[in-house]
Amino acid sequence: MVFCILLSLFSLFISAISSSVFVSAFSLVNDFHVLVSLKQGFLSPEPALTSWNSSNPSSVCSWAGVFCSQDRVVSLDLTDLNLGGSVSAQVSRLDMLTYFSLAGNSFRGGIEIANLSSLQSLNISHNQFTGGLDWNYSSLSNLQVFDAYDNNFTALLPLGVLTLEKLKYLDLSGNYFYGKIPESYGKLEGLECLSLAGNDLRGKIPGELGNLTNLREIYLGYYSVFEGGIPKEFGKLVNLVHMDLPSCGLDGPIPGELGDLKLLETLHLNDNLLSGSIPKQLSNLTNLMNLTLSNNVLTGEILYSFIY
Ligand SMILES: *[C@@H]1O[C@H](CO)[C@@H](O)[C@H](O)[C@H]1NC(C)=O
Ligand SMILES: *[C@@H]1O[C@H](CO)[C@@H](O)[C@H](O)[C@H]1NC(C)=O
Ligand SMILES: *[C@@H]1O[C@H](CO)[C@@H](O)[C@H](O)[C@H]1NC(C)=O
Ligand SMILES: *[C@@H]1O[C@H](CO)[C@@H](O)[C@H](O)[C@H]1NC(C)=O
Ligand SMILES: *[C@@H]1O[C@H](CO)[C@@H](O)[C@H](O)[C@H]1NC(C)=O
Ligand SMILES: *[C@@H]1O[C@H](CO)[C@@H](O)[C@H](O)[C@H]1NC(C)=O
Ligand SMILES: *[C@@H]1O[C@H](CO)[C@@H](O)[C@H](O)[C@H]1NC(C)=O
Ligand SMILES: *[C@@H]1O[C@H](CO)[C@@H](O)[C@H](O)[C@H]1NC(C)=O
């Protein structure tokens, strides 16, 4: 009797061990099922995804675009595979994913990503996704790179991205985002690159963006029509190398504060309604190599220091 109890305790122990092994095996099986259901939503998955053989779960780590680590799918790279169709919400069950790219396909419909707390890089650029990007970003707490360039998103800019404390790269350009740039975007302090270019934005460019002192590149130009000109607070963006604000309705003077951007190499302000004279402080921009001011209503002389 005592023996029997001991034996059953022992077998419980064994089953606890084997179930933990089973859990990780099960997880790769989980990843397999998610990928199979993703493929079912794709139009024209062949020949690019011929290796995604739904009768062969054990082969999943050798499927095209799939990379595993410790028996889990950690990276999914479906860049430029001529895929169409839609992206199943099941994708949010690939819970160990750190890198995910769907860039350069023809995916349509909405997309929602959540619950991928290991995800560091997400690239959905060059597709035809519609709707908005109002996701639960607090469940994507490790996201550093988010590229949604060149889609058909038609919505207000997503506020949820503010919870992404590690975000360095945000590209929402080439869409139909409308409304204002939220002042709160000035709190995305880790950002090194911000692109909202080629949208349908209105209102003032918030001076709060001047708080993004880690920014190296900013792109806001084309199609959007802003009011109130270039914020003088942009003079605080002391790490800026590239400022790109062409063709977006900017009026008023060029703020002299831009002369504080000592690292600036490129400044595009062409095709706006900027007026007044070119501020003499800009002659302090000793790294400036590429300046375009054409098609404005500027007066006065081109500074001697710009003539190389
Ligand atoms: C898929 O895997 C099964 C089982 O391993 C195999 O019999 C079949 O030939 C494979 N199909 C393709 C298209 O590779
Ligand atoms: C996203 O993918 C596109 C297409 O391959 C590439 O050009 C772009 O650089 C990628 N974005 C990032 C942030 O790496
Ligand atoms: C994320 O997980 C929660 C809780 O399990 C679930 O309710 C939600 O639908 C998931 N989100 C997505 C996009 O799968
Ligand atoms: C968003 O995700 C977080 C973290 O996973 C979770 O705690 C929260 O309940 C989710 N919020 C909503 C509205 O689903
Ligand atoms: C996306 O926008 C382009 C340009 O306006 C249009 O030609 C295309 O049909 C749109 N696609 C979808 C899926 O809405
Ligand atoms: C951000 O910028 C605004 C306006 O330029 C300023 O009033 C505010 O105090 C700044 N916030 C932080 C956290 O630096
Ligand atoms: C250029 O920078 C120096 C040092 O910051 C400053 O003293 C000077 O006034 C600036 N020149 C112009 C024209 O703004
Ligand atoms: C200057 O910028 C324009 C427009 O972005 C680009 O086409 C050109 O190659 C740049 N020139 C240099 C020298 O960087």
Asked if 214 contacts 239 with a C-beta cutoff of 8 angstroms, the reply is yes
Q: pLDDT digits over 48-105, tens only?
A: 999 999 999 999 999 999 999 999 999 999 999 999 999 999 999 999 999 999 999 9
Task: State residue 308's pLDDT score.
Answer: 44
* Å from CA of 180 to ligand 3 middle: 29
Q: Which atom of ligand 3 is nearest to the CA of 112?
A: 13
Q: Between these two residues, 11 and 292, which has the higher pLDDT value? A: 292
User: Shortest CA distance to 141 belongs to which of 103, 123, 113, 167?
Assistant: 167
Task: State residue 305's pLDDT score.
Answer: 54
Chain-centroid distance, C-alpha 127: 14
Ligand 8 pocket, residue 289 CB under 6 Å: yes
What domains lie within the chain, and their CATH numbers? 18-52+61-306 (3.80.10.10)
Q: How far apart are CA 87 and CA 43, in angstroms?
A: 10
Q: How far apart are CA 148 and CA 218, in angstroms?
A: 16
Q: Which atom of ligand 7 is nearest to the CA of 281?
A: 14
Nearest-CA residue for atom 5 of ligand 1: 56
Ligand 2 pocket, residue 147 CB under 6 Å: yes
Burial class for 6, CB neighbours closer than 10 Å (0-12, 13-18, 19+): exposed
Q: pLDDT digits over 28-53, tens only?
A: 999 999 999 999 999 988 999 999 99
* pLDDT of 306 above 80: no
Average pLDDT on 243-261 reads: 98
Using most ligand atoms within 8 A of CB, pick from 115, 119, 134, 139 the residue to mutate for ligand 3.
115
Nearest-CA residue for atom 10 of ligand 8: 290
Ligand 6 pocket, residue 253 CB under 6 Å: no
* Å from CA of 255 to ligand 4 middle: 42
Q: Which atom of ligand 8 is nearest to the CA of 290?
A: 1
**DSSP letter assigned to residue 108:** E
Q: Which atom of ligand 4 is nearest to the CA of 114?
A: 2
Q: Between these two residues, 118 and 301, which has the higher pLDDT value? A: 118
Q: Residue 234 to residues 18, 157, 254: CA-CA distances in angstroms?
A: 59, 21, 11
Nearest-CA residue for atom 5 of ligand 8: 268
Q: How far apart are CA 211 and CA 259, in angstroms?
A: 17
Asked if 254 contacts 278 with a C-beta cutoff of 8 angstroms, the reply is yes
* Ligand 7, pocket residues at CB < 6 Å: 259, 280-281, 283-284
* Å from CA of 115 to ligand 3 middle: 6
Q: Does this model's pTM top 0.75?
A: yes
Task: State residue 240's pLDDT score.
Answer: 98
